[in-house]
Amino acid sequence: MNNLANCYKKGEGTEKNLEKAFYWYQRAADKNHIKAMNNLANCYYNGEGTEKNLEIAFYWYQKAAENGDEEAMLNLANCHYIGKESEKNLEIAFYWYQKAAENGNIEAMYNLFICYKYGEGTEKNLEKAFYWCQKAAENGD
């Protein structure tokens, strides 16, 4: 179901149809497909195939992140960092950036560098900032 939704979203082998992509992401997410949960959240966040709804997007990011999806962890951290449909909370953002980085997300590694460099959500620590900057760079950022 998630792969079929991806085909509709990208127009691969069929015409691009965001409404059908949304439909299949929803069906897959309802069956606890973790990647589909994040993809469904993206649909709600961006208003693709459905009305834009940040509250529902946040719900699905949270659910996917709690079930181990590193991309959803990053998206959830970003929501907390900027305060979209959640209270701006740098400590929670830091927590999810850390989880995502530990699961190999390069963007989260870079964001940890920023958090440590400026003391956002954690104590300022230039040694840890350097570590995460280097880790992100070594992984292609």
Q: Which of 84, 25, 19, 27 is nearest to 50 (CA)?
A: 19
For residues 49-77, give the mean pLDDT.
96
Per residue in 8-41, pLDDT (tens digit) is 999 999 999 999 999 999 999 999 999 999 999 9
In contact, 102 and 82? CB cutoff 8 Å: no
CATH topology of domain 1-67: 1.25.40
For residues 55-77, give the mean pLDDT.
96
Give the pLDDT confidence score for residue 22 in this predicted structure. 98
Residue 119's CB is within 10 A of a number of other CB atoms, namely: 12
Query: Which sequence spans correspond to the domains of the chain?
Result: 1-67, 71-141
- Rounded distance between C-alpha atoms, residue 36 and residue 26, angstroms: 7
pLDDT at 84 > cutoff 90: no
pLDDT at 87 > cutoff 80: no
pLDDT band of residue 85 (cuts 50, 70, 90) is low
Provide the token pair at 68: 């181990």
For residues 69-89, give the mean pLDDT.
90
In contact, 68 and 103? CB cutoff 8 Å: yes
CATH topology of domain 71-141: 1.25.40
Chain centre distance of CA 44: 13
